[in-house]
Amino acid sequence: MHIDYRNAMQNYFKSTTPIFEGTYKFIHSPICGPTVIPASTEGNIIYPKYEPYVYGGYCEDVHCIWELRVKQERDVWLYVDQLDFSLNDCSLEVIEVYLPGHDRPEFTICEKGDTAEDTKATILKSRDLIEGAIIIHFKSSAPGHSNFKLTWTELYELPKNSDGTVMTSKLITPGVCEFVCPGKSACINNNQVCNGIRNCPGNSTDVAQHDEAPEICFSRTGSKFNYVALALGAAGGTVVAVAVIILVCRNCRKRPDDNSF
């Protein structure tokens, strides 16, 4: 609506009826948590951030909008590893992931009976992240009864040859691959391996296909852990033994002589 200020005093403010009527609604309530999430190697969005009962999240619809900052030189793997929606209707409850300036979501997930594991994850390529941000929407008509955990990881998805094999030249490129995921699907940083978070793309039900596999973690930390545990055990045993000897000696000195009168 455009108002010409030159005629406003003579016309608009003399009218007894409203010029226009509008409505507004607050979005991104406190139960959504922070709006902007700084760039990091890995992280997650947990909804609800706070108890809905405290902030009135049970009685009205909720609309959360998060801006996830990302590094442009890396791909981003997004996956939902916890999902409990109370509504089985995508028009009433849905998570949508957008790229800045795009009208259509790149990734959508809602609770359906036939929702498969591979539909709960996607990889956004670095070439599409030139704006350095990802926009995540969550809309729900039953916000107080739903929860989810959306996790992301920065990685480098390995390109494939025409025959489907991995381009091995990328595996030896300095600074690109520190740890090659099982199946050679992607590369992640060494500090992302065996840190309690699944950072390699793959089926969450197949433990052997990601970086938290017991065989991988034991081979990286098992021997080091055993030496540390052995050293700590030996030191603790020595301290206990010395303490027992000191106590026994003190008791011996305080005991009276049985032959004295």
pLDDT tens profile 193-213? 888 888 888 765 555 567 888
Which amino acid is residue 59, in one-letter code? C
Is 141:69 a contact under the CB 8 Å cutoff? no
> Residue 142's closest CA among 89, 179, 101, 188?
89
pLDDT, position 61: 82
pLDDT tens profile 29-88? 888 889 999 999 899 999 988 776 555 555 678 889 999 999 888 899 999 888 888 888
Could you tell me which residues are beta bridge partners of residue 150? Answer: 45, 80
pTM of the prediction?
0.68
Query: Residues near 26 by Cβ (< 8 Å), separated by ≥ 6?
Result: none
pLDDT, position 225: 46
| Phi, then psi, of 171 in degrees rounded to 5 | -70, -25
pLDDT tens profile 79-120? 988 888 888 888 889 999 999 889 999 999 887 655 556 678
pLDDT, position 50: 76
What is d(CA 93, CA 83) in angstroms, rounded to the nearest whole number? 12
Residue 242 pLDDT exceeds 70 = yes
